[in-house]
Amino acid sequence: MEVSDVRRRLQEVIEQSKRAAAERRVRVQEAEEAYGTFLNGVAIPVLRQLANVLKVEGYPFTVATPAGSVRLSSDRTAQNFLELTLDTEGQTPVVQCHVSYERGRRVQSHERPVCEGTPIAEIGDEALLEFLLPEIARFVAR
């Protein structure tokens, strides 16, 4: 094998890698902008409404908005919460929901993408509510 062939092939890989990284940065930037709009326009208002209704029904929950996320957490136990964040690790950035809840002495948790397959900019309040209701059912089950 010629050194020039190895060099040429390596240069091609380097160029492809640079292009892929640049494209990924653009996708992540676009997703972060769409997520910011989603967070402020959809997620925070929906979770605040849910917290208010849960309080009226006798389940005290609070909404917190740490940087880049929104969290609905129980006032009774710190183990019961759900949190929405932006996951940029995969090929396509997605809104991720992390749920943690107590069952007896055990704490169970899981993560799953919110409205999988739907672009972040297209996740509306109705779709988010439909996604969240089964997750919240875990907190109110006795």
pLDDT, one tens digit for every residue, the chain (142 residues): 888 889 999 999 999 999 988 888 888 898 899 999 999 999 999 999 999 999 999 999 999 998 889 999 999 888 889 999 999 888 788 999 999 988 778 888 889 999 888 888 899 999 999 999 999 988 887 6
CA distance 20 to 96: 23
What does the pLDDT read at residue 134? 93
31 burial class (0-12, 13-18, 19+ CB within 10 angstroms)? buried
Q: Are 109 and 123 in contact (CB under 8 A)?
A: no
Instruction: Give the total number of structural domains in the chain.
Output: 1
Q: What is the pLDDT of residue 91?
A: 79
Phi, psi values for residue 66, rounded to 5°: -65, 160
Q: How far is CA 48 from the centre of its chain?
A: 17
Q: Does the pTM exceed 0.85? A: no
Q: Could you tell me the end-to-end alpha-carbon distance of the chain, in angstroms, rounded to an integer?
A: 69
> What is residue 17's predicted lDDT score, i.e. its pLDDT?
92
pLDDT recorded at residue 142: 63
Domain of residue 93 covers 3-140
